[in-house]
Structure 1
Amino acid sequence: MTALSSSAALNADLHCHSTVSDGTLAPEALAARAKAGGVQLWALTDHDEIAGQERARQAALAQGMDYLTGTEISVTFAGRVVHIVGLGFDHTDRQLTDGLRQTRGGREARAKEMSASLAQAGIHGAYEGALKYVGNPELISRTHFARFLVEAGHCSDVPEVFRRYLTEGKPGFVPHKWAALRDAVRWITEAGGVAVIAHPGRYPFTAMEEYALITEFIHHGGRGIEVVTGSHTAADATRYTDTALEFDLLASRGSDFHSPEESHTDLGSLPPLAGSLTPVWSALSERIHRA
């Protein structure tokens, strides 16, 4: 491991999405954008899917970046959806690929229910409209519906769609049965990777619920937490720096980039991790694909 690869100042972007899930750029275009943003270590973390990993790895190495395999798994905890990022795993692992396939199952039926609910609110053809934005039909999601609703003029932007239509209690919201926290962490760790709690500042948990999430995550073998990410404020980064130190968790960093038009944080543009933290990549040196 080089001094650069262990440094908290490394420009690592370990959270973003391609057309394989709900991003708008192909893995190759994302790799080029990451390189242009100064990224040195990159991971593609599509939702509940690893089909883009080999393309992303090859593109990263061609751009001169180091690469870690990645995914972002949706789990249910305390009645809410929480995301767990996996990094540095064997992307051919059978248990992981089977688990992700099961997690993706049922999205089509859910999408049709969402469309029917929106039709009752006077918005017709939402399922067909959302499909126009889907690169992988197994992963049709609320984001694809949101893009259609903006295009059709029902809302001015994606955040407005979620405020008015696609969150709990609003027209178009249909819950999905996600993976269990213990299973997601097990799939990642038994495939040789490190599990990371994604953007913890986004979840509307009480202090007690957040403590329960972190301690249960650790109990199941989770080892990391995102400290610097596109949806965290500077105050959030300070808070989760303290959390990482308190619970002896590895610290991760990622933009959560989805689209040039939608994402307010670009690849490679985040501030560095605090020097007091242990970066997640320091525990994954042997899993990094070197340029």
Structure 2
Amino acid sequence: MPFIVTDLNSAEQPRFDLHMHSTASDGALSPAELVARAAEASIRYLALTDHDTLAGLNEARVEAVRQGIQFIPGVELTCRWHKRTLHLLGLGIDPEYEGWREYEARLQRLREQRAETIAFKLRGKRAPDDILERARTHAGRGQIGRPHFARALLEAGVVSTENEAFDRYLGQGKVGDVKAEWPDVAEAIAIVQASGGKAILAHPTKYRMTFSRLRLLLSALAEAGADGFEIGYPGISQDYIRLLLKQAEVLDMQVSSGSDFHNPEHHWTGLGRFPRVETSRHLIHQFYTDMPL
């Protein structure tokens, strides 16, 4: 099936972004601020996909109505596949689905347990005794995660930038890269779909797999009933886009795109900025049809 890859600043309308984060998890902007900024960027279709929580959806929806934006309720669920941590987007979910309350509470407990372990390990690597309290302060009412520890390490003077915090302490394979017994990916797919959403693997090339291993993962997800995977996001190469689109054809799966926006200070991404891929397999076309402007 033919497709076109264009640059990061495509003038295609209406603009959309199906992957972003607010202060409900590890983003820097409140849900309302995030939606307002998206409106300034001329985004007309928007999905808020905070990590393991639906807490910001109502605030974002209210602001989206005010801004004339079509709002797509979403979430980014942490899960596992063969002991490997994955992120699964749920797009177009029903936040009122009765199963979400218990599932969110379970993820909250896992995040709190992981945060305690991260703090314990960081205290053995020059971090102050109150590193957990500092991280919780940065998390506020949102889900605590490694970015909050990065800000806490910066505040404590242990590192000079948040990037350094990840490079030295929190990134993959570092002391603060603590694993948790996240739900299996099949369970994450099931609750997304039970709540009426599409189950989409987030940023597939960021799991440090060979492409052969990634093909196995995508095949396993297709067999488990996942709807598709992201194909356009910051940092992906056009070569990988072509390879992934071929896998979408082979596996008969849908594709999605989004900025994975967290913070306006992060220079490598911005709302609505990601490689554009034109294909009938793209999930945005379903939202265009189901939610016309």
Q: TM-score, normalised by structure 1?
A: 0.89
> Take 2:206 and 2:194, find their aligned partners in 1: how far apart are those partners?
27
Which of the numbers 279, 282, 287 marks the counterpart of 2:282? 279
Which of the numbers 166, 170, 180 marks the counterpart of 1:166? 170
> Take 1:260 and 1:157, find their aligned partners in 2: how far apart are those partners?
15
Q: Which residue does the alignment assign to 1:132? A: 137
> Take 1:271 and 1:231, find their aligned partners in 2: how far apart are those partners?
9
Q: Which residue does the alignment assign to 1:198? A: 202
> Take 1:154 and 1:219, find their aligned partners in 2: how far apart are those partners?
45
> Are residues 1:101 and 2:105 paired?
yes
> Take 1:81 and 1:222, find their aligned partners in 2: how far apart are those partners?
16
Structure 2 contact 234–273 (Cα < 8 Å) conserved: no
User: What is the root-mean-square deviation of aligned Cα atoms in Å?
Assistant: 2.1
Matches within 5 A, 1:1-291: 10-124=14-128, 125-136=130-141, 139-262=143-266, 264-274=268-278, 276-284=279-287, 288=291
Q: TM-score, normalised by structure 2?
A: 0.88
> Take 2:172 and 2:268, find their aligned partners in 1: how far apart are those partners?
24
Decide whether aligned partners of structure 1 residues 158 and 242 sit closer, same or farther in structure 2, where only a CA change above 3 A counts. Answer: farther
> Take 2:198 and 2:192, find their aligned partners in 1: how far apart are those partners?
6
Structure 1 contact 257–263 (Cα < 8 Å) conserved: no
Decide whether aligned partners of structure 1 residues 116 and 254 sit closer, same or farther in structure 2, where only a CA change above 3 A counts. Answer: same
> Take 2:240 and 2:257, find their aligned partners in 1: how far apart are those partners?
13
Q: Which residue does the alignment assign to 1:5? A: none
TM-superposed deviation, 1:192: 0.9
TM-superposed deviation, 1:244: 2.2
Which one-letter code corresponds to 2:134 in the other structure? G
Q: Judge which range, 59-68 or 21-30, deviates more.
A: 59-68
Structure 1 contact 20–49 (Cα < 8 Å) conserved: yes
Q: Secondary structure at the match of 1:55?
A: helix
> Take 2:69 and 2:119, find their aligned partners in 1: how far apart are those partners?
41
> Take 1:155 and 1:237, find their aligned partners in 2: how far apart are those partners?
35
Structure 1 contact 158–262 (Cα < 8 Å) conserved: no
Structure 1 contact 196–223 (Cα < 8 Å) conserved: yes
Structure 2 contact 92–197 (Cα < 8 Å) conserved: yes
**1:254-278 superposed Cα distances (whole Å, 9 cap, x missing partner):** 000001113521101223222x342
Which one-letter code corresponds to 2:199 in the other structure? A
**1:200-248 superposed Cα distances (whole Å, 9 cap, x missing partner):** 0101123343222212212222112111112423333333233323322
The percentage of aligned residue pairs carrying the same residue is: 33
**1:82-116 superposed Cα distances (whole Å, 9 cap, x missing partner):** 10000111111012332232122132232122112
Q: Secondary structure at the match of 2:159?
A: coil
> Take 1:116 and 1:35, find their aligned partners in 2: how far apart are those partners?
41
Structure 1 contact 82–203 (Cα < 8 Å) conserved: yes
* Structure 2 unaligned residues grouped into runs of 5+: 1-11
Decide whether aligned partners of structure 1 residues 9 and 96 sit closer, same or farther in structure 2, where only a CA change above 3 A counts. Answer: same
Q: Secondary structure at the match of 2:240?
A: helix
Q: Judge which range, 221-230 or 40-49, deviates more.
A: 221-230
Structure 1 contact 12–268 (Cα < 8 Å) conserved: yes
Structure 2 contact 52–78 (Cα < 8 Å) conserved: yes
* Structure 1 unaligned residues grouped into runs of 5+: 1-7
Which one-letter code corresponds to 2:244 in the other structure? Y
Q: Secondary structure at the match of 2:25?
A: coil
Structure 1 contact 241–277 (Cα < 8 Å) conserved: no
> Take 2:281 and 2:222, find their aligned partners in 1: how far apart are those partners?
16
